[in-house]
Structure formats: C-alpha cells, structure tokens
Amino acid sequence: MAQASYRKLSEWLFERFGAPVRKVGVLAGFPCPNRDGTLSRAGCSFCNPAAALPPGITAEDTVTAQLETGTKAVRRRFGVSRYVAYFQDCTPTNCRPVELEEKLAEALRFPGVVGLAVCTRPDCLPEQMADMLARVSENTLLWVELGLQSANDETLAASGRNHTVGDCTEALGRLRSRGLPAVLHVILGLPGETGGDLDRTADYVRESGAWGVKIHNLHVLKGTRLEEEYAAGRAILPDMEGYAAMAARFVSRLDPGTVVHRLCADAPSMLLVAPGWMSDKQAVVRAVERRLAD
C-alpha cells in the first residue's frame, strides 16, 4: 500500500528546527466578541469555551506560569525541549495590539520556545494587529490561525458564527501582504452541508494560498446549541469510516504543500457527547491515512 500523502505539521517543524517541536497552549485571557455582546452573547452553535482550555492553567496565570505548567507536561509525555507557544483561547486578538504583544514577548523569553501561533476569528484581525504580528515575526516563527469553518455563508449564519467567508478572505489578504503564514480551521459535517460544500471549502483553502489547515470532525459538546440539535435528530454524525472518507476527500483536494495541522478534533471526555469514536484519535488518523493511501 502506498504511503498516505499529506504534509504533517510535525514533519515540517522537525525540518525547520532539526528536532521534535510541540505546541503548548497559552491563554491570553481576552474575550470572544461572539460571546461578550459585541456581536452576540450566544456564541457559535458548536462551541463550549471550556473545551479549549489546557489542563492545569487559567487565564489569570502569567504567560510564564502557564508555560512552566504546559512545557512540563509536554516534556514528560513526549520528551521534547522545543515548543511553539499556542495562544488558543476565545479570541486572543480581541484587544489592543500592545496587550497581545506583551504576552507574545513574554512567551518568547521562556526557555525552549522557538515559535508562536495565534488563533483568532477572521473578523478580529485589524490592520494594526496584523502590523504588530508582522513585527514580532521578524525575529521568530509566527503563524496565525483563522476560524473559517466553512466556505458557505449560509452554514456560517446557521452556526451562529457572525462572520462571513469574505471576512476570512480579507484577513488572509492582510496576512499575505505581510508575509505571515495563515492556517485555516475547518469543520467537516456541519448541519446542512453536502459533499459539494466540503469540496467548496477544500477548494477555498487551496485557492487562498493558506500555508496550513486544521481539520475537525463535527462533534457535540455539552452545553451547546448543537447538543440540542443532536438530541432532536437535526444533526447527524458519521461513523469513523464515514468521517475518514470525508477527511480524505478534503485533503485530496488541497495543494500537496499545504501543511496539515490536524486531521480530526480533540475534546475533553467530560464534555464530549458524541461521537464516541473520536476518543481514539490515533485510530481516526489511521483510518483517514488508509483512505488517502488507497
């Protein structure tokens, strides 16, 4: 059987630094405009913010304290000594640029941190914020992750995202003009989406020139509107092989050089309602890779 053909983030980082590198989650502590009342207080239909919280830290902890906790756990589990500080909670760019810049600088002073990743909404990347990120990137690896989720505006509206595909296109333009690598987050299997929507989203990622993509399977978390939809039978989840076929179809439409940051979602077991099969992440990855190799 042929090898699965896609570009893994772990391999890209190893080539860049000559050693294994792992991401370590950091909480910036800035709110999501889709929950703080700026756009909405309801949030996205699938989102429970607690699912994105790294264990053992809080946003009240300093960046240094968070990295001490996170790197210790990663070092113990994976035996690595190089890290990318990953600002992942809510919307790290929903602040004045100087506020985030101070946190990024603190992360870079931590021993072993060789790069930064900032995850945000497409509609929360103004020019001044992009300027600051470009300035920081002059001295370190820095990439920006944008939550596209789908290239269908109707799906985004139904999911309560309160941004459009056009917002993502504009944010990508700001990053591209400054030489900042972009990673797009997508969710496969959102309610109402078809195979054509999957293809359209994959094509958008390819045509956008994004450096990387992070692929999530639709999953149901406690305390979300999606949980209610799932209970009412309005949200249908595929089995693992069905998802593997979807993910392989998506990846096969990407540019071969696109760096795949993940093939399936993670969720804390105490918050996960369904699907149960995603608790074995490596089995899911193997299933996708088998499809890609066929």
66, part of any domain: yes
β-pairing, 22-26 vs 259-262, is unpaired
- Residues facing residue 8 across a β-bridge: 260
- pLDDT at residue 117 is higher than 60: yes
Residue keyed to tokens 């959102």: 190
Q: Please name the amino acid found at residue 210.
A: A
The CATH number linked to 89 is 3.20.20.70
- The pLDDT, as a whole number, for residue 53 is 87
Which whole number is the average pLDDT over 135-152?
Answer: 99
Is the Cβ–Cβ distance between 83 and 22 less than 8 Å?
A: yes
Q: Could you give the C-alpha distances from 123 to 27, 129, 168, 244, in angstroms and in order?
A: 20, 12, 7, 31
**Residue 82 within any structural domain of the chain:** yes
Longest C-alpha distance within the chain, in Å? 52
Residue 2 lies in a domain: no
Cα angle value 217/222/223 (rounded, 5°): 120
Please give the pLDDT value at position 104: 99
Q: How sure is the predictor about 1, in pLDDT bands with cuts at 50, 70 and 90?
A: very low
Output the average pLDDT for the chain.
Answer: 96
For residues 33 and 97, what is the distance between their CA atoms, to the nearest angstrom? 16
Average pLDDT score over residue span 108-118: 99
Task: Please choose, from the candidates 210, 209, 230, the residue with its C-alpha nearest in 3D space to the C-alpha of residue 220.
Answer: 230
Amino acid at 171: A
For 246, the domain range is 7-293
Which of 252, 263, 269 lies closest to 285 in space, CA to CA? 263
Q: Model confidence over 190-242: pLDDT tens digits?
A: 999 999 999 999 999 999 999 999 999 999 999 999 999 999 999 999 999 99
Q: How confident is the model at residue 89 (pLDDT cuts 50, 70, 90)?
A: confident
**Which stretches of the chain are DSSP H helices?**
9-17, 63-78, 97-108, 127-137, 153-158, 165-177, 195-208, 225-231, 240-252, 281-293
Is residue 1 situated within a structural domain?
A: no
pTM strictly above 0.85: yes
Q: What is the structure's pLDDT at 4?
A: 57
pLDDT at 196: 98
The percent of residues in the chain predicted with pLDDT above 70, rounded, is 99
DSSP helix/strand/coil, 118:
strand
As for how many domains the chain has, the answer is: 1
pLDDT of 49 over the 90 cut:
yes
Mapped onto helix, strand or coil, the DSSP state of residue 49 is helix
User: Cα angle at 96 between 143 and 108, to 5 degrees?
Assistant: 45
Q: What are the residues whose beta carbons fall under 8 Å from the beta carbon of 11, sequence distance 6 or more?
A: none
Does residue 223 form part of some domain?
yes
The pLDDT score that the predictor gives to residue 2 is 41
